[in-house]
Amino acid sequence: MNIRQFLSEKVKAAMIAAGLPEDTNPAVSLSSRPEFGDYQANGVMGAAKKLKTNPRELATKVVEQLDLSGIADNIELAGPGFINIKLANSWLADQLAKTGQDAKLGVSQREKPQTVVVDYSAPNLAKEMHVGHLRSTIIGDAVVRALEFRGDKVIRQNHMGDWGTQFGMLLAHLSDKLAANEVAETALSDLENFYREAKVRFDDEEGFADRAREYVVKLQSGDKACAALWQQFIDISIAHSEEIYQLLNVTLTRDDIMGESSYNHDLANVISELEAKGLAVEDQGAKVVFIDEMANKDGEPSVFIVQKSGGGYLYATTDLSACRYRSGELNADRIIIFTDARQALHFKQVEIVARKAGFLPEHVEYHHCPFGMMMGDDGKPFKTRTGGTVKLAELLHEAVSRAGDLIKEKNPDYSDEQLKEIAEKVGIGAVKFADLSKNRTSDYVFNWKTMLSFEGATAPYLQYGYARIQSIFTKAGIDSDSLSSEITIAEPQEKALALKLLQLEDVLDAVIAEGTPNLLCNYLYELASLYMSFYEACPILKEGIADEVKQSRLALCKQISATLKQGLDILGIEVMERM
Ligand code: ARG
């Protein structure tokens, strides 16, 4: 159920009946203030302007045509031509009765599902995953889950950085370690260290850089022994990422990996096609595409290098190949890519070139969703105290341990096992929610205290809200599954909740369209806050409450808890019955 869309159709029909053209836009939205009703339609103003007629008169005609009997209590004309709609409690209750019985909470399934390729996480395997990949991983995963919940077909693509010249020095270093009888897993237990060691040798050790270069050549020419060594490195590094995925409760698996190396066989073709189409040309030994569409203010085109002067390919070349693979082989209707904002220019160039080359047909949407950086308290990019990159694994373990301390303080009687489970859900949930709830494109300050607070828009607040509802069912001695979904709406707090519950589909659609899970975070926070006000104002189990009222309020609680749980699940955050 999407009330906004439902009302849009009604108002649009009325506008057409009042003589407006078929493509008229009713512009229905939630009312900005309660005195303007629940929803408002503002489309008449625009239509009147186009027709050069009086908006108020036109709005009067539209209202005459607008039949919302049984749906709205009141339709009011306001100002120069706003139409304010106040929905009827009985109609809202009927909608809730339906959504309450639906496993998808009334979120309808897409009639024409799209095939959506989502490119997210994509760590570089030469190094440990760091906080920059946290954002890509969890934002991407939330959008993926929202798409799937809505009924689209999602193909996850983990475009891991598993190729490139830096593997030369890494493999040379690894082969020395293995020759000295070290076990690969041990040698690579700390990738950051390993990388640093290899780099020091590359810079300082006589002859090592040459060996590193030889390894690059061997790797690229498909030398068997070298490929096996590379595979060993990659497998161990992937296992590190997988530990994090598990900790983070994200849905990525090994099958979703389509690293840069997977495009290797196609890169020469990409270049020759670009040349054949007259797009790539030689420039100082390299092959480049000049992009006039992105010329600077002096009219100089933007330069997109697709092959280095030594013949090596680049990140850009793999992304062009990926465009072709995703639209041609995977039949994507839409491609969404989550990386930090510093890559915005790169993806703009990729899109323009891929479209011209025919790698990305017109009907395939290409959507790069950039995100801002995670900052420390000092307002600078988030780093360790000594200025190093923060390892994601360490950050997540710290979150769990901090959450554990908090929970223990609140509930000293929990067993270690209970404590561990709750601490994991709360700690990881807190980190994820803090990140997901921020406007995607802005930088944000990472702060343990606010994210783990039980007040405000945090995971613990929402998880606590959920647990509180479960405790009501326990207190009432009922199994919530046995409750009917019949709800009577009488109090304003009940109506506010009904309206909010029925907005889920609308919110998910916005999340999907823009790649913005923060909208779902806001929604859930508002829902939980409305629940708290309802709980204060509308007693449920108090003595003297009529049984029908009690049943209705319990049924409302049930829908709120189902929606909180489902919404958090889309964000990849778990709930618990008690906390
Ligand atoms: N590995 C890259 C990085 O860490 C992100 C890859 C994103 N996807 C892509 N198709 N380029 O920055």
Instruction: State in Å: Cα 161 to ligand 1 middle.
Output: 7
Residues in the chain: 579
* 118-161+259-375: CATH architecture: 3-Layer(aba) Sandwich (3.40)
Four-way CATH pick for 3-87: 3.40.50.1000, 3.30.1360.70, 3.30.70.330, 3.40.50.1100? 3.30.1360.70
Instruction: State in Å: Cα 205 to ligand 1 middle.
Output: 31
Confidence tier at 67 by pLDDT (50, 70, 90): very high
Q: What is the pTM of this model?
A: 0.95
Contacts of residue 88, Cβ cutoff 8 Å, sequence gap at least 6: 70, 71, 72, 73
- In the predicted model, is pLDDT for residue 1 greater than 90? no
Average pLDDT of the chain is 95
- In the predicted model, is pLDDT for residue 113 greater than 90? yes
Residue with the nearest Cα to atom 5 of ligand 1? 122
What is d(CA 44, CA 65) in angstroms, rounded to the nearest whole number?
Answer: 13
Residue with the nearest Cα to atom 4 of ligand 1? 123
The Cβ-side half-sphere exposure at 2, using a 13 Å CA radius, reads 17
- In the predicted model, is pLDDT for residue 33 greater than 90? no
Report which secondary-structure segment, H or E, holds 369: strand 365-371
The pLDDT of residue 389 is: 80
Instruction: State in Å: Cα 371 to ligand 1 middle.
Output: 13
Q: What is the pLDDT of residues 54-65, one digit of tens each?
A: 999 999 999 999
Residue 528, φ and ψ in degrees, nearest 5: -65, -40
Confidence tier at 388 by pLDDT (50, 70, 90): confident
Q: What is the largest CA-CA distance in the chain?
A: 88
- In the predicted model, is pLDDT for residue 540 greater than 90? yes
Residue with the nearest Cα to atom 6 of ligand 1? 122
Q: What is the pLDDT of residues 477-524, one digit of tens each?
A: 999 998 888 999 999 999 999 999 999 999 999 999 999 999 999 999
Provide mean pLDDT across the span 10-28: 95
Instruction: State in Å: Cα 160 to ligand 1 middle.
Output: 7
Confidence tier at 550 by pLDDT (50, 70, 90): very high
Pairing of strands 334-340, 365-371: parallel
Domain layout of the chain by residue ranges: 3-87, 118-161+259-375, 166-251, 403-570
Instruction: State in Å: Cα 154 to ligand 1 middle.
Output: 19
Question: What ipTM was reported for this prediction?
Answer: 0.99
Confidence tier at 409 by pLDDT (50, 70, 90): very high
* 403-570: CATH architecture: Orthogonal Bundle (1.10)
DSSP conformation letters of 35-77: GG-SEEE-HHHHHHHHHTS-HHHHHHHHHHH---TTTEEEEEE
Least confident of 273-282, 285-294, 379-388, 555-564: 379-388
Per DSSP (E only), the strands in 66-184 are: 72-78, 82-87, 115-119, 153-157
What is d(CA 483, CA 560) in angstroms, rounded to the nearest whole number?
Answer: 13
- In the predicted model, is pLDDT for residue 287 greater than 90? yes
Residues within a 6 A CB radius of ligand 1: 119, 122, 124, 159, 161, 319, 322, 337, 339
- Residue carrying the six token digits 């006589």: 206
